Amino acid sequence: MADLSGRLTGFHKGIDSSVARRSREDAAVQLRKARVVERMNKRRAAAVDPAAAGTAEAAASAAEDATFTSGMLTPRAGMSATEQHTVVTQCVAGLRSGDDRHALAGVVNLRRLLSIEVHPPIDMVISAGAMSFLIAMLKRVDHPKLQFEATWCLTNIASGTAAHTELVITSGAPELLVQMLGSREVNVREQAVWALGNIAGDSPKTRDFVMSIGGMLPILNLLRPELSPSQSMLRNVAWCISNFCRGKPRPHLDTLQPCLASLTYIIGSMSDTEVLTDACWALSYLSDGGNERVQAVLERGLLPRIIELLSHPKTSVRTPALRCIGNVITGDDDQTEAAVAAGCLPKLLHLVEDMTRPSICKEAMWAISNIAAGTPEQVGQLITKGFFPVVIEACATARAEVRKEAAWTISNAVTGGTADQLRQLIAQGIVSAIGSLLAFADTRVAKIALETLENLLRRVSELDTTGESDAALRDVIDEAGIVEMLADLGNSGDETIHNRCMRILTDFFPDELEDEDDDEFPGAAGMPYGAPGGYGGPHGPGGPGAGGNPFGSAGAGAANPFASMGHKGFGSS
């Protein structure tokens, strides 16, 4: 099979690379929406450590905080602006006092105030002059409690807007936070990871800044088994790694190699859902951007485990694992084959069969369309593993975003399949699928379907040495009502669709044009695209596989001119 000139930008054959890239980016946006719902790139630390909530440790910590802040107004959700201002004034007075006990009371209450889930008064805290005191507390190696509370406050300030994050950076906090990653106190180290993760998660610029000051390697080193990292530490480090890997422009692959080593350890040895979620997202970001990035993932031996995670019970894990597999499949033919050989096909088939989860179904179908754009052997695997009945059904019944990827799957298979594979695809019902796509009121889908139809007709004509197969295919198309659809679509008002329909009718169905005016298609002129016009609604004439389809399924026998044809009439592939 001819080289595809780069699967990543040209995985949809017959469409220019800019459109192909746009399709890929649309899929990324859809999945990122799910990601935002699941977790944010920047996170606000709650008033109580979630890992300790409801435990004796949490109760003891709360009691200790209460002793520090006795006599101060306690922050709570729903406070008025006046009450918040009172709290901030009391806190800053404590920070200014020069007395560690009063300073601790002030920073604890400030942390509580900044941990309010909805609209924490970050600007009020900054305007009161608290930042300089918080930065000074980061240097208090002799007082880990002050360090910890001040870091917690800065973590939540950095979780605000880009301007808030920039203020944390210009204050000099990041360099001090990197130093604190070596603290003897576990909670200080962990809170420093969280704060740096929020800074790195703000933008590619801030991500690169954290990496430039040496923040990445000390964070990765916290995964060392001899440190016995807690579950919350593992979650924070995995999330931080995902922030190092995300965002465009991507960091250079060489820069991310240490992250890849840590991800190999995480993916291979851990089962916590949150850790796996962030690790899989990190791998999906890392593997996106070129064959050399895909190869880096393959060389780590991660593919079997990622494929295994396609069956994880949580959608939050399956989604990024699927994105990572999709990136591998967009690589060269050998990289695609590595995914197929590692067993991705049964998992993808299961995911695409479940149309109740459209975002995952779309992503799985996108991956399948890229396999269909591969070698004839890979197309053959899709046929023998039973993908095309599902793809054909999706063309008729799935949501628009899934239907479009199903259309590309058929288009790619028609373009790259052998003569025998084309015969099998026709026998399984791809003409019916093309009819369903043409009947679907979506201009983009119609253009894919028309291109597929024309490619199918031309390829069968070129491969047919006797004319029997070519004539049989035209009869199948005509009896499926597609010729009438072409006439109606030609009057849709879209010039590209008009020209393609005219060319197909002229080249392959000239008899339909004999008695018509040269300037107008046969059929109802000006008929709105997608309206009924002699072709039976959204499933084509009578639905897929109905009486208007003379080939039905692959076992249709004499009623199917392709089912019993063997290799007769076709030349070599």
Which range among 10-14, 161-165, 567-571 has the greatest average pLDDT?
Answer: 161-165
314: left (phi over 0), alpha (psi -120 to 50) or beta: beta
Q: Tell me the C-alpha to C-alpha distance, in Å, between residue 151 and each of 62, 332, 357, 390, 514.
A: 18, 46, 40, 53, 81
Would you say 284 and 324 are in contact if contact means Cβ atoms under 8 Å apart?
Answer: yes
**Residue 197 and residue 219: Cα distance in Å, rounded?**
10
Domains of the chain, start order:
29-203 (1.25.10.10), 222-336 (1.25.10.10), 343-511 (1.25.10.10)
Which of 339, 445, 437, 457 lies closest to 397 in space, CA to CA?
A: 437
Would you say 427 and 560 are in contact if contact means Cβ atoms under 8 Å apart?
Answer: yes
Angle at the Cα of 12 from the Cα atoms of 9 and 14, rounded to 5 degrees: 105
Q: Tokens 């010729």 sit at which residue?
A: 483
Those residues whose C-beta lies under 8 Å from the C-beta of residue 339, and which sit 6 or more positions away, are 303, 307, 325, 328, 329
Which of 66, 57, 51 lies closest to 190 in space, CA to CA?
A: 51
**Residue 160 and residue 427: Cα distance in Å, rounded?**
58
Q: Is 103 helix (H, G, I), strand (E, B) or coil?
A: helix
What does residue 411 show for φ and ψ, rounded to 5 degrees?
-60, -45
Would you say 475 and 562 are in contact if contact means Cβ atoms under 8 Å apart?
Answer: no
pLDDT at 47: 57
pLDDT at 452: 97
Q: Is 464 helix (H, G, I), strand (E, B) or coil?
A: strand
**Residue 102 and residue 126: Cα distance in Å, rounded?**
19
Residue with the bigger pLDDT between 357 and 5: it is: 357
Would you say 113 and 133 are in contact if contact means Cβ atoms under 8 Å apart?
Answer: no
Angle at the Cα of 545 from the Cα atoms of 542 and 549, rounded to 5 degrees: 80
Q: Is 242 helix (H, G, I), strand (E, B) or coil?
A: helix
- Residues counted in the chain: 573
Q: What does the pLDDT look like over 170-224, one tens digit per residue?
A: 999 999 999 999 999 999 999 999 999 999 999 999 999 999 999 999 999 999 9
pLDDT at 70: 56
The pLDDT of residue 247 is above 80: yes
Residue with the bigger pLDDT between 543 and 114: it is: 114
pLDDT at 155: 97
CA dihedral 6, 371, 279, 269 (to 10 degrees): -130
Provide mean pLDDT across the span 370-392: 97
Provide mean pLDDT across the span 402-430: 96
pTM: 0.80
**Residue 535 and residue 251: Cα distance in Å, rounded?**
52
**Residue 279 and residue 173: Cα distance in Å, rounded?**
27
Provide mean pLDDT across the span 49-73: 53
**Residue 44 and residue 32: Cα distance in Å, rounded?**
19
Q: Is 302 helix (H, G, I), strand (E, B) or coil?
A: coil
Q: What does the pLDDT look like over 431-461, one tens digit per residue?
A: 999 999 999 889 999 999 999 999 999 999 9
Which range among 393-397, 469-473, 529-533 has the greatest average pLDDT?
Answer: 393-397
Residue with the bigger pLDDT between 74 and 4: it is: 74
pLDDT at 401: 94
pLDDT at 62: 53
